[in-house]
Amino acid sequence: MAVHVVLYQPEIPANTGNIARTCAATGVPLHLIRPLGFSTDDKMLKRAGLDYWEFVDIHYYDSLDDFFEKNKGNMYYLSKFGTQDHAKFDYSDLEQDHYFLFGKETTGLPKDLIQSNIDRCLRIPMNDHVRSLNLSNTAAILVYEALRQQGFPGLH
């Protein structure tokens, strides 16, 4: 698969649930880096109405280091401090994996990770009236931009 969503220590179950729905609808794998701010056991998922969870290709990691050891490809870091327009990158190569890393809702990605990868820190253009978009909206924008560039493989 060429497009991946990575959530670093997500805190809000509704955001992760919405992102999981986008992943289920598009066939995009979801990577979750612990600790999570909620439970993903069957009882909790059913109560939240996440009946599509079984259709998500989901991977769990105990740390960022664990994630990076097991995954290689183009890494893109979403941050309010990002300086690169998300639409200026080429995600069209279906042979290459493209990982979109999103941080915690409250604190984002670790500052040292942002600083050492500033040339791959993306931002979605917006005005100055809000500081950021909702995490699940941002993930959907990125997933669909990458899939659009790839010709929406496997989707109809």
pLDDT of residue 48: 56
Please report the pLDDT score of residue 53 as a whole number: 82
* Domains of the chain by start residue, with CATH: 3-150 (3.40.1280.10)
**What pLDDT, on the 0 to 100 scale, is given for residue 117?**
96
pLDDT tens for the chain, 156 residues long, are: 689 999 999 998 888 988 999 999 999 999 999 999 888 775 665 555 577 888 999 999 999 999 999 999 999 999 888 889 999 999 999 999 999 999 999 999 999 999 999 999 999 998 889 888 899 999 999 999 999 999 999 999
> Which pTM does this prediction carry?
0.93
Query: CB within 8 A of 98, min separation 6: which ones?
Result: 2, 3, 4, 73, 74, 76, 91, 146
Contact at 8 Å (CB) between 118 and 78? Answer: no
Question: What pLDDT is attached to residue 97?
Answer: 96
Binding residues: 78, 103, 124, 132
In this structure, the dihedral spanned by the alpha carbons of residues 30, 111, 107 and 89, taken in order and rounded to 10 degrees, is -50
pLDDT at residue number 14 = 84
**CB–CB of 20/49 below 8 Å?**
no
Confidence (pLDDT) at 72: 95
Q: Which residues are annotated as a binding site for S-adenosyl-L-methionine?
A: 78, 103, 124, 132
